[in-house]
Structures are given as structure tokens and as C-alpha cells.
Amino acid sequence: MKIIEVKDQQAGGKAGFNIFKEALADNAQVFGLATGSTPISIYQELVASDVDFSDKISINLDEYQGLAGTHDQSYRYFMNQNLFNAKPFKESYVPNGLAENIAEETARYDNIIANHPIDLQLLGLGQNGHIGFNEPGTPFDSQTHAVDLTPSTIAANARFFANENEVPRRAISMGIGSILKSKKILLVAYGENKADAVAAMIEGPVTEDMPASALQTHADVTVIVDHAAASKIK
């Protein structure tokens, strides 16, 4: 793994932006995207730039079940607000949170990924080491699947809802196997509360108890961390 340590989230946004630019120069066509607070500074850099995604494809990692794309806490809405409205892609895929038949929806999503292999996958990191909504214990060969959110993830996400009861309990997420098929992976993490997960991801044993440790098995991973998130790397 290549580690880039930066001062803060703003500097991380610039470093991440450069990796997107390099991928575009390298003819990347398909971008795997993430939501959450971490990627926002990269999206701000992309929005402020002259980058053009209008002939590119984006595929998002995950979506809550039960929320329409128009709900202001849905990941589709987040992506529209933070990137797609300013920088439209030719096609932008996000799992359908309102799909009635989840097996059909996950198969549809796997098919999309198979037909559009991801050139650059952007990831954030959960405090428990999750990537996408792949919580500890998720098999490394998992494909797109329905997920029961853990109490810690529900609590962490409650800050975006009126109260914890409104946080959806289930989501649809690309699997770890789906993520590992990407040609290049960029994982970004900021803050002291990510420091344990960052150290375990990079230096710990490769174990399904620490989903992000699966990235040690991938040939092309870049990690952007601020000093606080890097503080427990030996």
C-alpha cells in the first residue's frame, strides 16, 4: 500500500483530486464512489476544477434500504448535491434503496459492475474497519448484498437524522469481493477515531474481523491519511 500523509482534510482533498486526475490521464472510464464526510473535500476539488466526467461512468458503493433517492439522507441525494449536479457523469449508478426484490437488485448491481469494471474505487473507512457497508465478519469474496447495520454504525450515522430511530436498519452494499476487483483503490481516512482501524488495515493480520485488511491483498492501493489517523501506524 502506498501511504500519503497529509496535514488535514483540505490537503487530503487536493491529494485525492490528483489521484483522480492521474486516473483520468490514464484513461479511466469507471469510477467507484463513496459517500460520508471523508470524500467531501475531494468532491469539492473536483467540482472546482475543469474535470469533465460527461463521458464517464460512476458506480456508488452503497445505499440505505427504504429511502428514495430524493430523501435528503439517501446516498443518491448526497451524490447529487456533492458531485453529480455540478459534474454529471454519462451514467451514475447507486443501488435502488426502494427495490422490492433485493435479490434482483443485488444481481442487477453485480451485473452493472461486471459490465463496467471499476478503474478507480474511492473508499472511506469505518471506525470498526468497515468499507462500504461491509461490517466485520463479511466474507472477503462477498458481492453486492443486503446488510443489517451494526448498532455502532447506526449510532455513528444518527448525527445525520432527527434521531437514531430514523436511521435505516438495512442497506445494500457492494461486497468486499466487488471492491477488490477494482483496478486501483484509494482509501481515505481522517481523525483520531480512525487511527486504530488505519493501523489494523495496514499492519494487522488479514482477517474478516477487519474488513479493510482485505486491501492488503490488492496490488494497487493508495491510502490518504491525516496525522491523527496515521498516529497508530508503527
C-alpha cell at 179: 471492491
Alpha-carbon separation of residue 17 from 27, 33, 75, 186 (angstroms): 15, 13, 21, 11
* 125 burial via Cβ count (<10 Å: 0-12, 13-18, 19+): buried
* 101 burial via Cβ count (<10 Å: 0-12, 13-18, 19+): exposed
Residue 174 touches ligand F6R, criterion: CB under 6 A: no
Choose among 81, 91, 84, 140: nearest CA to 113. Answer: 91
Residue 12 touches ligand F6R, criterion: CB under 6 A: no
Residue 61 touches ligand F6R, criterion: CB under 6 A: yes
Residue 39: CB minimum distance to ligand F6R, A: 7
Residue 37 touches ligand F6R, criterion: CB under 6 A: yes
Q: Which of 46, 59, 62, 201 binds ligand F6R (CB under 6 A)?
A: 62
- In terms of DSSP H, where are the helices of 90-175? 102-115, 151-157
Residue 131 touches ligand F6R, criterion: CB under 6 A: yes
Q: Which of 16, 97, 124, 129 binds ligand F6R (CB under 6 A)?
A: 124
Residue 168 touches ligand F6R, criterion: CB under 6 A: no
Residue 35 touches ligand F6R, criterion: CB under 6 A: yes
Q: Which of 76, 116, 130, 184 binds ligand F6R (CB under 6 A)?
A: 130
Residue with cell 485525492: 16
Interface ranges with ligand F6R (CB under 6 A): 34-38, 61-62, 124-126, 130-133
